[in-house]
Amino acid sequence: MAEESVLPLAAVLVSAVAVFLIVASYRYPNVREGWSVLAALVKFGIVASMLPGVMDGTVYEWSLADSLGVEFLAGIDFVLRADPLGMLFAMLASFLWIFTSFYAAGYMRGLDEHAQTRFFASFAASLSTALGIAFAGNLVTIFIFYELLSLVTYPLVAHNEDDEARIAGRKYLAYTFFGGGVFLLAGTVLVYWLTSGVDPAGEGTLAFETGGIELLAEAAAAEPVFAQAAFFLLIAGFGVKAAVMPLHSWLADAMVAPTPVSGLLHAVAVVKSGAFGVARVILEVFGPGLIHDLPLSVPGVGEVGLNVPVAILAAFTLTAASIIALRKDHLKRRLAFSTTAQLSYIVLGLSLLHPYAVLGALFHIPAHAFGKLTLFFCAGAVHVETHTDYVSEMAGIGKRMPLTMSAFAIGAAGMAGMPLIAGFVSKFYMLIGSGTVGGGYWLFAAALIVSGVLNVAYLWPVVYTAFFESEQRHDAKPLLEFPPGGKRESYDAVATDGGERVDDDDDERAPGGQPRPVDDAEGDTEAKGAGTPLEDDEDDDYEYAVDQYPSDADVPGGRGDHEDHADDHHDHGDHHGGPPAGGWERRSPFAESTWLMIAPIAVIATGAVTLGVVPDYAVFLELAIYIVEGVFDVDSFDELGGLSLAEAVEVIDE
């Protein structure tokens, strides 16, 4: 039942109001950050206050036409409604914002960043639009907030105001507006046109309906080709933000943004808004039944459901992105590709359509958010404290930042889907789902498992190097340092080559030491991680030095010339990464950084464990189950157990 309420609007507007307060109090940093925290708390309070009602089946709704009598577009209302699916995303974003606002304060102050007011204002605005996406009640409303989200996150990406940031910003705008303004708008218009064609009054409908818009199903029967086009346009529109290949390359570049942005927005709010949009399209615009039954005839294969191409793309993305992540030396970039892969888990799970897979995908939204936010917070804390960004410089850093790196280990285990951490639960359901469907779908199960292994392969080395290696002695990292496919040199040469460089590396570096754009992933310069320390003054005798100490360049006080770090983002040209002279000092977990940063890390990591150990008691799984029950229109999730995909889809139709 729908209940008119101003709460969804209030939840959206809280942080929009905060934007003005933040800008107004730009002279007083403490007051300014106070507004951020206050807005985050109020926002979470408002969202949480709706939760009991939503779990009882109430849908809180605010509409512009009903409350103010203003029609947004002819026949289309501007609606915000808190339904279970929206609540899932809103709870997540507003809860994590609380801790991120503390962390962001610690981070920005720790680095003494410029334009902090603009940063916090944009951050609050981003959260406002993210909640707008969560609560949007129809395609036009979600489109509005989707576009606004692209807009207000742009200042965060271009924050550094240098060439790298500007280029990343341009790319970001181009990708996200192509997704929103072109694909999503086109899809929305098509849906409007299709539904108005079958409506007796000629009025199109765009409002989300649990299990799919009925009029659209009617229209699809009459105009299957346009319905399919609309489906793919909508998926592509949201797929841009969900970083599904080949639309993913903005994400890694956007990592030039300050780490809280990468953490909350590029691992939670922005990218999840894409995944969330895919969920809306699959579950509440088209509906699993229609998607499954709308035949797409592929030459040579026959007719397949509309979901299959999406699933294939997602499976490809999650495998390919994991492989690319293996070769990223820059920690944030590695995490970015991990995000790309993990988002495709969600898209894959949704596109499998089976109730279990959908449940897994929905639960993966919070599971991944908690895990990845932990990882990004850790990367940021390491950056603030030691200015170290590259995995190859992190040997032994566990001594310096024990708590941070322990939290990192938890997050990493979650990404890989280890039991007891949140990521396991969601992946488990997805595996059951794809297994139950059977047929060719085993391929997707295999992709999930392979990607899990790859997750271990690219995140474990970070933990390993932090805790089990030391500054002076650590293993070579052939995966990072060699060109793809290994080196064509004699065994001897390889043996001496634990060191950082061979001559020809210099030629292959991008001019000016600029990090190359990320889509250049095949180039070995990139893989090496642009800016990995090189020793330039060692040309004469490096062979001996390298012979003795494979990773000589990393030795503290080493002759490594860190000039190229000057081009590195975040850098003001006056510090370099890696251990200080004399190695990492040993610090206790409580003194490794400011409380502003440690506390959020600890809380979020604890959250990731909680979701993994007792998912039943953390609200997200319950919400996800409730959503799936609604979509498949059953009273209890148990009714769906053991059904095949075709049977499950039948359930909806009944």
Q: Report in angstroms the alpha-carbon separations of 345 from 107, 168, 440, 621.
A: 30, 25, 18, 17
Contacts of 167-173 with CB under 8 Å at 24 or more apart are 167/253, 167/517, 168/250, 168/253, 168/254, 168/256, 168/257, 171/249, 171/250, 171/253, 171/254, 172/250, 172/253, 172/254
Between CA 72 and CA 79 the distance in angstroms is 10
First-last CA distance in the chain: 21
Residues that bind other proteins (CB under 8 A): 64-65, 70-76, 78, 140, 143-144, 147-148, 151, 155, 158, 161, 165-166, 169-170, 173-174, 177-178, 181-182, 185-186, 189-190, 192-193
Closer by beta carbon to other proteins, 155 or else 558 = 155
Closer by beta carbon to other proteins, 161 or else 489 = 161
Could you identify the residue written with the tokens 């024990």? 402
Closer by beta carbon to other proteins, 118 or else 559 = 118
Closer by beta carbon to other proteins, 79 or else 379 = 79
Strands 2-4 vs 59-63: parallel, antiparallel or unpaired: parallel
Shortest Cβ distance from residue 378 to other proteins (Å)?
Answer: 28
Shortest Cβ distance from residue 369 to other proteins (Å)?
Answer: 27
Shortest Cβ distance from residue 160 to other proteins (Å)?
Answer: 9
Q: What angle do CA 471, 473, 478 make, to 5 degrees?
A: 105
Closer by beta carbon to other proteins, 185 or else 459 = 185
Between CA 440 and CA 430 the distance in angstroms is 15
Shortest Cβ distance from residue 477 to other proteins (Å)?
Answer: 35
Between CA 649 and CA 288 the distance in angstroms is 7
Burial label for 581, CB within 10 Å (0-12, 13-18, 19+), is: exposed
Shortest Cβ distance from residue 90 to other proteins (Å)?
Answer: 21
Closer by beta carbon to other proteins, 156 or else 290 = 156
Shortest Cβ distance from residue 324 to other proteins (Å)?
Answer: 27
Q: With left for phi above 0 and alpha for psi between -120 and 50, is residue 283 left, alpha or beta?
A: alpha
Shortest Cβ distance from residue 204 to other proteins (Å)?
Answer: 8
Could you identify the residue written with the tokens 């004469």? 540
Closer by beta carbon to other proteins, 190 or else 598 = 190
Closer by beta carbon to other proteins, 9 or else 165 = 165
Shortest Cβ distance from residue 198 to other proteins (Å)?
Answer: 14
Between CA 40 and CA 11 the distance in angstroms is 10
Burial label for 623, CB within 10 Å (0-12, 13-18, 19+), is: buried
